[in-house]
Chain A
Amino acid sequence: MAITLTQTAADRVEKFLANRGKGIGLRLGVKTTGCSGMAYTLEFVDELHDEDTTFESHGVKVIVDPKSLVYIDGTELDFSKEGLNEGFKFNNPNMKDECGCGESFTV
């Protein structure tokens, strides 16, 4: 399996990275918190860890640690606009349920 980005998401990430002026890619992860048990994290990456897995999608490096990969393998990251609000969206096939706001989920 792999982690992929949609073209829109990849364009955005590239823009944000260019604006930031440094960073090698985007880190996707999960942490155990929130109302449904787990939450997604999305961070810029300045350095790689030994155990990290790196994917490449539309020219953007996507970095995931092994623990998180279990929960989000197969995820497609999209960038979308809902009304005035815009941001990234996890389309995660492993997810069973999410809290009302969608920021945390269970597998």
Chain B
Amino acid sequence: MALLQISEPGQSAAPHQHKLAIGIDLGTTNSLVATVISGMATVLQDEHGHALLPSVVRYMPDGSVVVGHEAQAQQSHDPANTIASAKRFMGRSLKDIVDRAHIPYSFVDSADSSKLLQLQTRAGLKTPVEISADILKNLKARAEKSLGADGGRGELLGAVITVPAYFDDAQRQATKDAARLAGLNVLRLLNEPTAAAVAYGLDHAVEGTFVIYDLGGGTFDVSILKLTKGVFEVLATNGDSALGGDDFDHRIYCWILDKIRDGSNTFSPLGEQDTRLLLTKARQAKEWLTDNHEAQIVCRLSNGSLIDVTLSAQQFVELTQQLVLKTLTPTRKAMRDANLTLDEIKGVVLVGGATRMPQVKQAIEDYFKQTPLTNLDPDKVVALGAAIQANALVGNRSDNDLLLLDVTPLSLGLETMGGLVERIIPRNSTLPVARAQDFTTYKDGQTAMSIQVVQGERELVADCRSLARFELRGIPAMVAGAARIRVTFQVDADGLLSVSAREQATGIEAHVVVKPSYGLTEDEITHMLKSSFGSAEVDKKARMLAEARVNAGAIISAVTIALSHDGNLITSEEKQAIEVEIEILQAISQTDDAVVINQGVDKLNHATEAFAAVRMNASVSLALNGKNLDEIKL
């Protein structure tokens, strides 16, 4: 007999047609899967009652794949075939990985260093996408078992998978690819902080600005979200990719070592096994101290010596004070980037197991001057939010469920003359979105236009990321500025960008679908965002200079053409004077001073005034030649 769940009024599904959907938190350290059962978001457990699945994959000699706790336990024995934290490599190429020396995996050098990186394991070459797919497969199997999807209760319609807010196109695409590889239909990718906010029902709240403080096992992220009419805008993100709960364990571990050294003079370095043992004991002590005043750490090392030390909560707080402070620096930076004051923050949500530590909670409370939201399990809150969103997306929603809208993480634009970025779709636009803008030709008789699509917040193309380049050919020859070329940017609900250009008079068209571009690192993207705030002044100058150069180029080209056509209308001295001015302007447009270049442009303009008047007269008399007065009546 099948097990039934309670539906919303009037929404009972026909047998075998339940709309099953799951939310997955694909984390760097741990992953989870959740679903909505009888109207309640619930994290699904494996057969041992574990909710967290360590994001570790081990490729076994017999060709099988082991995921989770079992793989994690073998990490130190078989490092090259046991891959942890694959999320850090998602959408990355080899050249993005800077500290390869510290990573135990064998990366494969590929001829093209911008290609996605691969790891050599005994199961062959593995990309981070495939490794993540193995984690997702495991979670999918768990979900199907829990929901009875394999028993014909209805099929698993899809999953919402969460990604960090700062993930770029390449990393998001890699996450989608992993899901597809695992046989999961991706309903949507959802930003992790947004998912946490949804789990707390903040999307039902009125409007407001929220801080999501996410201290995970090995990473720290802080995001500031603004909610307006069902849209979560990411105002700022910051963090530290090398700070997490593991660092707190390590502080305790070092403290234990110090204690041992005090007690005996015959201290020898610890072996691998003892190190692991002490780290495990350290983690247990940390967790114990969340609700207790002191923790006793007792264990026997492999050489037979007994360790028996007691760590008080107060000592623990002192040991880890620096780590807690370290999370506040990115938090302050994010607040500054978002240009917010503390009283504008409506709520603070805690995510990640490490936020259970009382000293972390206290530090946040002291900084934000308000009690953070903690009533949901911080390990599960992201997965729960994803499940709620997945449930709404497949149509099992009750009337108070809002459908969240995604936004573009970075601005999209194209390159105009002089290497400038013309922004077409600004950052944080809600998806799907389409915007069009008209452009024109720069030179007389120009018949083709090269369109370079860029992503980023800076004013110069060189400082942004190029996504694609395509050409519109067959523009009819016209004078500069006469052609009307409409360029349309479209981003669909999945975040896929397509760009088309159409010459309005003839209707000729060119089109490109922007494929995910690989190679933009996490640091690059945060750097790009940050530098756009910090370098507005520099950018403005660069923009003015580029514009001045474009102006100079345009006038030089126009005057040169005019001289070659109508040079006979003026005396050779006059002609020479103009040519001298052209040369001067050509020279100064190479300099870096926009003001001087603009002055040169004015000077050339001035020098050609008389010539322009003569030309005008000549063309007027040409037009009037042989016509009588009646015909030219205005």
Q: Which residue of A lies closest to B398 (CB)?
A: A20
Q: How many residues of A contact B (CB 8 A)?
A: 39
Q: B9 near A19 (CB under 8 angstroms)?
A: no
Q: Contacts A19-B39, A84-B145 given: A103-B2 contact, CB under 8 Å?
A: yes
Q: Among B4, B10, B37, B152, which residue has the most Cβ atoms of chain A within 10 A?
A: B4
Residues from chain B with Cβ under 8 Å of A33 in the complex:
14-15
Q: B3 near A46 (CB under 8 angstroms)?
A: no
Complexed CA–CA distance, A24 and B1 (Å): 27
Residues from chain B with Cβ under 8 Å of A47 in the complex:
9
Residue in contact with B15 in the complex, picked from A15, A84, A103, CB distance below 8 Å: A103
A7 within 8 A of B: no
Q: Contacts A19-B40, A43-B12, A103-B15 given: A87-B146 contact, CB under 8 Å?
A: no
Residues from chain A with Cβ under 8 Å of B47 in the complex:
83-84
Q: Name the interface residues of B147-171: CB closer than 8 Å to any CB of A.
A: 147-148, 151-153
Q: Contacts A35-B15, A89-B1 given: A101-B6 contact, CB under 8 Å?
A: no
Q: A90 near B4 (CB under 8 angstroms)?
A: yes
Q: B3 near A83 (CB under 8 angstroms)?
A: no
Complexed CA–CA distance, A15 and B37 (Å): 12
B7 within 8 A of A: yes
Complexed CA–CA distance, A87 and B148 (Å): 10
A99 within 8 A of B: yes
Complexed CA–CA distance, A48 and B448 (Å): 70
What is the count of residue pairs linking A and B with beta-carbon distances less than 8 angstroms?
102
Q: Name the interface residues of B1-52: CB closer than 8 Å to any CB of A.
A: 1-12, 14-16, 37-40, 44-47
Residues from chain B with Cβ under 8 Å of A13 in the complex:
6
Complexed CA–CA distance, A44 and B11 (Å): 10
Q: B3 near A85 (CB under 8 angstroms)?
A: yes
Residues from chain A with Cβ under 8 Å of B45 in the complex:
84
Q: A42 near B3 (CB under 8 angstroms)?
A: no
| Contact bitstring B113-152, A, C-beta under 8 A = 1, else 0 | 0000000000000000000000000000010011110011
CB of A101, distance to nearest CB on chain B (Å): 5
Residue in contact with B7 in the complex, picked from A34, A41, A104, CB distance below 8 Å: A41
CB of A97, distance to nearest CB on chain B (Å): 12
Residues from chain B with Cβ under 8 Å of A15 in the complex:
40
Q: How many residues of B contact A (CB 8 A)?
A: 32
Q: B11 near A43 (CB under 8 angstroms)?
A: yes
Q: A44 near B7 (CB under 8 angstroms)?
A: yes
Q: Which residue of A lies closest to B38 (CB)?
A: A16
CB of A65, distance to nearest CB on chain B (Å): 12
CB of A40, distance to nearest CB on chain B (Å): 6
Residues from chain B with Cβ under 8 Å of A40 in the complex:
4
A88 within 8 A of B: yes
Q: Which residue of A lies closest to B145 (CB)?
A: A84
Q: Which residue of A lies closest to B46 (CB)?
A: A84
Residue in contact with A83 in the complex, picked from B1, B39, B145, CB distance below 8 Å: B145
A53 within 8 A of B: no
Residues from chain A with Cβ under 8 Å of B40 in the complex:
15-16, 19-20
Residues from chain A with Cβ under 8 Å of B37 in the complex:
86-87
Q: Contacts A19-B39, A39-B14, A44-B9 given: A85-B4 contact, CB under 8 Å?
A: no
Q: Which residue of A lies closest to B41 (CB)?
A: A19
A50 within 8 A of B: no
Complexed CA–CA distance, A41 and B2 (Å): 12
Q: Contacts A19-B39, A85-B145, A99-B15 given: A43-B7 contact, CB under 8 Å?
A: yes
Q: A20 near B4 (CB under 8 angstroms)?
A: no
A11 within 8 A of B: no
CB of A28, distance to nearest CB on chain B (Å): 10
Q: Among A40, A45, A84, A89, which residue has the most Cβ atoms of chain B within 10 A?
A: A84
Question: Footprint of A on B, CB under 8 Å?
Answer: 1-12, 14-16, 37-40, 44-47, 142, 145-148, 151-153, 398
Please name 13 further chain A to chain B contacts, defined as beta carbons within 8 Å, in addition to the given A41-B7, A84-B142, sorted by A numbering.
A16-B40, A19-B40, A33-B15, A35-B16, A43-B12, A44-B9, A83-B47, A84-B145, A84-B146, A85-B3, A85-B147, A86-B146, A87-B38
4 shortest A-B CB distances, which residue pairs?
A: A87-B3, A102-B1, A41-B12, A103-B15
A-B contact pairs, 8 of them (CB 8 A): A16-B38, A29-B12, A34-B16, A44-B8, A80-B3, A85-B3, A88-B6, A90-B4
Question: Footprint of B on A, CB under 8 Å?
Answer: 12-13, 15-16, 19-20, 26-27, 29, 31, 33-35, 39-47, 80, 82-90, 98-104
